Homo-oligomer: A and B are copies of this chain.
Amino acid sequence: MILPPPAQPSQPVAQVDTPALLLDLDAFEANVAAMARFAREAGMRLRPHAKSHKCPPIALAQIAAGAVGVCCQKVSEAEAMVDGGVGDVLVSNEVVGAPKLARLAALAGRARIGVCADDAGNVAALDAAAGAAATTLDVLVEVDVGARRCGVAPGEPAVLLAQAIAACANLRFAGLHAYHGAAQHLRGVGERSAAIARAAAEAQATRDLIERAGIACPLITGAGTGTFAFEAASRVYGELQPGSYVFMDADYGRNDWEGLPRFAQSLFILTTVMSAPVAERVVVDAGLKAHSIDSGMPLVHGRAGLAYEKASDEHGVVAVAPGAARPALGEKLRLVPGHCDPTVNLYDWIVAFRGATVEAVWPVAGRGAFY
């Protein structure tokens, strides 16, 4: 079941049913423009990550501002983007298993499709799938530059895999995927900068080895919202993949941003006070099914003395500090989600507003697209 949208264009934001995912268009458009300008001035390709928004109208806005395409994490997410009009998608992840490989290869008949690999057997399977679909896939070697998740080790293992890809009839070796996820939320600017300096050095050394082996390595891609300025400064990376910058969230808000480009909070959860039983707390209608607390609690936006303290499945307990104005039963509050990506994935619709008025309601077409 997909529920009907909680709002209609031209409706007052105050009338939007709750919980709802609100997007402040002024802040969103400024974020899209700022990242595009940064990439342009840095001479970098920009390929924003669509796993954050899963929403074709947002991808198209990013591309209109200069992005070369988008990243996705899953084949079904990439399908949603291509269905929505995106012509160039990098699945910045490994794709494993015959059904998914067949879908990925078929998608390459409708758009330019890239994918990552960190295993020689998987490379052979990618080649076979592309051959069966009579398509060609761009394949990047994923190198573990510090995230300790997927990816081969820098150096010789990456060279062997690049050689395997280059030898495949239906694959193009497209470069290195060197994303350092674990660095994005290191709080200090210096920590993040140092982590990316190490990552860039490992990626550079790996590229040198690959090119010495006679294989052109056209691109090193990576970076997220927490570190993109450091990848850009490295002169090693050629493409940036930030996703969260379009929305921002409470956890990114806890990073130190001194001296770095800043982005505005554009994403909010609209929630209603559904119970106000005592002076020191109110209960709102947005709990664990309306936002993800994996990176901490949401913040109550623009209201002093209110702290979202505890989430249960369908409730949020908001503490009211002594002396603070207690919201009334039925009043609507805005929350800044703790972590934007898994929060957006809970919603079928993004309610885009400007000022006090709903301007558009966009489908989260890739919601639940985890196959």
Contacts and interface: CB of A to CB of B under 8 A. Distances in A.
Interface string A333-357: 0000001011001111000000000
A181 B369 contact: no
Contacts of A2: 1-2, 368
Given A93-B274, A151-B277, A314-B370, 6 more contacts: A1-B365, A3-B369, A18-B371, A95-B274, A150-B274, A346-B368
Interface stretch (A28-36, A59-67, A164-172, A281-289): A281-289
Interface residues of A, number: 71
A6 interface: yes
A313 interface: yes
Interface in A286-333: 286, 288-290, 292-294, 311-315, 317, 329-330
A76 B289 CA distance: 13
Interface string A257-297: 00000000000000011111110010101101110111000
A329 B119 contact: yes
Contact of A118 (B149, B275, B286, B294): B275
A370 B292 contact: no
A313 B150 CA distance: 13
A288 B283 contact: no
A314 B17 contact: no
A348 B368 contact: yes
Contact of A368 (B1, B93, B317, B370): B1
Interface stretch (A38-46, A96-104, A225-233): A96-104
A371 B17 contact: yes
Nearest to A281: B148
A8 interface: no
A24 B312 CA distance: 26
A359 interface: no
A207 interface: no
Contacts of A149: 275, 283, 312, 315, 317
A366 interface: yes
Contacts of A312: 149, 181
A329 B317 CA distance: 43
Contacts of A290: 370
Interface in A109-158: 118-119, 121-122, 144, 148-153
Contact of A314 (B74, B148, B285, B346): B74
A73 interface: yes
Contacts of A329: 96, 119, 121-122
B96 A1 contact: no
Contacts of A19: 370-371
A316 to B, nearest CB: 10
Contacts of A80: 1
Contacts of A363: 1
A51 interface: yes
Contact of A311 (B3, B278, B294, B348): B294
